[in-house]
């Protein structure tokens, strides 16, 4: 993190455990380090080196490395799960609700890209990771139910299993973590338009 960014964080008025950082800024750097080295391979020493503070200073912000991972996962999952509770996902025709969820997911991924990247790389090595992966599966099941509802309403083809459609659709969306650059030539809104066009309308002219 640059000195300019630290100054901005310091000026935000958020309570800090140590000068130059608050919990959120520690979390953001930790997520970048986890994504670069892998969560399991990242020690508190590596985190301290990247933060430019001592290991003991990190504990003024969080009790453990796992707590950093828990906070990061909650950032990602909270953003995704909240989409399913909005009016656009709960009212109206099923295909419109599905499109709303797809657009919301792309927007959330673009906004929380490092956090979602970390979420998608979890391997279930701890109880907390398995719980997070379970919540991901719950999200996928909710989307599959929307797909099935749209099939029943006659707005989506019925010759493909709804779970397969969900996996293919969100496999496409999740691939954003490998190549999408926020602030680049394609906005999240434009990307959502492209995904909707291909997934809902196909590539044939």
pLDDT tens digits for 112-132?
999 999 999 999 999 999 999
- pLDDT tens for 48-64 read 999 998 888 888 889 99
Domain ranges for the chain, please list them: 3-62, 66-201
Query: How far is it, in rounded angstroms, from Cα 159 to Cα 88?
Result: 26
Q: What is the pLDDT of residue 23?
A: 87
Q: For the residues 35-60, what does the mean pLDDT come to?
A: 91
- pLDDT tens for 174-189 read 999 999 999 999 999 9
Q: What is the pLDDT of residue 205?
A: 67
Q: Identify the CATH class of 66-201.
A: mainly alpha
Query: Which of the four CATH numbers 1.10.10.60, 2.60.120.260, 3.40.50.720, 1.10.760.10 does domain 3-62 have?
Result: 1.10.10.60
pLDDT at 17 over 70: no
């Amino acid at each position: 993190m640059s000195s300019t960014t630290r100054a901005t964080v310091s000026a935000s008025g958020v309570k800090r455990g140590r000068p130059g950082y608050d919990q959120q800024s520690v979390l953001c750097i930790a997520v970048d380090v986890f994504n670069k080295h892998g969560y399991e391979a990242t020690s508190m020493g590596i985190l301290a080196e990247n933060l430019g503070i001592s290991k003991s200073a990190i504990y003024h912000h969080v009790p453990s490395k796992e707590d950093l991972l828990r906070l990061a996962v909650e950032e990602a999952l909270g953003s995704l799960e909240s989409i399913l509770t909005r009016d656009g996902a709960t009212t109206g025709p099923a295909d419109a609700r599905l499109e709303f969820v797809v657009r919301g997911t792309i927007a959330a991924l673009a906004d929380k890209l490092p956090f979602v990247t970390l979420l998608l790389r979890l391997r279930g090595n701890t109880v907390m990771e398995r719980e997070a992966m379970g919540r991901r599966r719950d999200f996928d099941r909710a989307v599959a139910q929307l797909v099935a509802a749209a099939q029943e309403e006659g707005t989506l083809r019925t010759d493909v299993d709804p779970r397969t459609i969900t996996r293919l659709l969100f496999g496409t969306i999740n691939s954003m973590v490998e190549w999408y650059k926020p602030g680049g030539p394609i906005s999240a809104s434009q990307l959502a338009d492209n995904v909707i066009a291909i997934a809902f309308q196909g590539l044939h002219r």
